[in-house]
Amino acid sequence: MSAPYNSHQLRILWNIKANEVLIGALRRSPPREHNLLWLASLAQENSELKSRSLLYEPFQIWVRKYNPDQPRVPAGNSDGGQWTDEGGSGGVTGGAQLASGHGRFGGAVAVGRKPETGPKAPDGTAGQLVGRAGGRVPADQGNSSQPATKFTGETRKFITRHAATAQRVADKLGGSRNAVIGAVANEYDTRHNPDLAADVRGALQGTGDWWVSGNTHQQLLDYYNAIKVREPDWWQKPLNAASMDVGPGNIRVETAIDLLREYDAEHIARGDDPLHLAKYVDHYDTLLKDLSDFDKTDTTFAFAALKVRNADRFFFDKDSTAWNRISDDVKDALRVTYYKMGEKTLSRNIDQRIARSRRKKEQFDFDPHGDGGQQHLNNLEVILRAIMEGLGTDRSKH
């Protein structure tokens, strides 16, 4: 990679943008002494980082060109939130106050060295951000939930526009249409919801689309193979395109390739291609281009459906009795949580809860009030109405 697009410059840009999110949260926090001291430290650090960055100004211009109508958190907004983990779009929201003196990125990050570790979410450590009232969205899965906000009007329009696509894909795979479109809409809403505009993923989500664009099939394959050898730390994420999330469904590149390979073995290798994905097998560059398309979303919904379908096997294998006794709507909420969090983290959290239930000799129940799940339930009526409008039908369920 040639200058200025080298790993050092990308790391500087990533640190600047991460610090800007924390600075925004601190400015909306109560003027406590430790908040003010941290704010001053981050502001001084960012000033130095910007003086060394060759990418900051071009990136700012690109962001404005990429989404000029991106809403911003209005002054005085009091909504709060918490950190989330892989695959999701939860995070710091407008009006958040800091629960401790340490942020997700561990405060100031010196240029050219590995940053200190920040709080781990959703699997367990301190340093979360909570709302002004101190409340948290219930999350019995053990994950830190995103704020359970209402979808914006733009998100509702997105659901209506793409309801037929989600229906078609769900019909071909035999999966849940409501979960598929709910999962994608949940991610899409991060880009358009002012309550989430200061969220780490909301603020940097477009970075993934930008970073993977221009990579060749071979480059993406090399990135994919490298990530299978060793999962990069969060601060290394911008250096590996396979670890980035792209498009309206915020789908991780590595996950998309995994799903494509599973689909290849299950369908394409047998001469079957219901989702028309064979064209991507040796063309990961085309796959990433289509996943990043916000207008033609067939590819996004196809891969979202493949991931959501895996959720059923995952939860059934964890506890088939608990899975079979819950309603379809609760199952859909859990499918959305699986889509957003990813299997590894969610598995660890559920295993801990199952073990705790067994020790106490209590019945284990899946709890849908996790990252994405609570928001799906809060927006269920909106989702169903938008789907019905898009399909021109009164079917509320597939």
pLDDT digits (tens, 9 = 90+) for 13-30: 878 887 887 788 778 777
**pLDDT recorded at residue 226:** 93
Q: Average pLDDT in the 184-190 region?
A: 91
- pTM exceeding the 0.85 threshold for the entire prediction: no
The three-state secondary structure class of 281 is coil
Residue 286's H or E segment, with its range, is: helix 284-291
**pLDDT recorded at residue 281:** 96
Report d(CA 269, CA 255) in Å as an integer.
20
Residue 280, pLDDT above cutoff 80: yes
Q: Count the helix, strand and coil residues of the chain and give each as a percent rounded to the nearest 5.
A: 55, 0, 40
**Which range (43-52, 56-65, 237-246) has the least confidence?**
56-65
**Which range (99-113, 146-160, 175-189, 308-322) has the least confidence?**
99-113
Beta strands in the chain (DSSP E): 97-98, 129-130, 245-246, 251-252
The fraction of the chain above a pLDDT of 70, given in percent, is 69
- pLDDT tens track for 233-258: 766 676 788 988 899 999 999 999 99
- pLDDT tens track for 314-340: 999 999 999 999 999 999 999 999 999
In the block, residue with structure tokens 């809060």: 378
CA angle 366, 368, 374 (to 5 degrees): 170
**Which range (68-72, 154-158, 174-178, 223-227) has the least confidence?**
68-72
- In sequence order, the β-bridge partners of residue 130 are 97
The three-state secondary structure class of 97 is strand
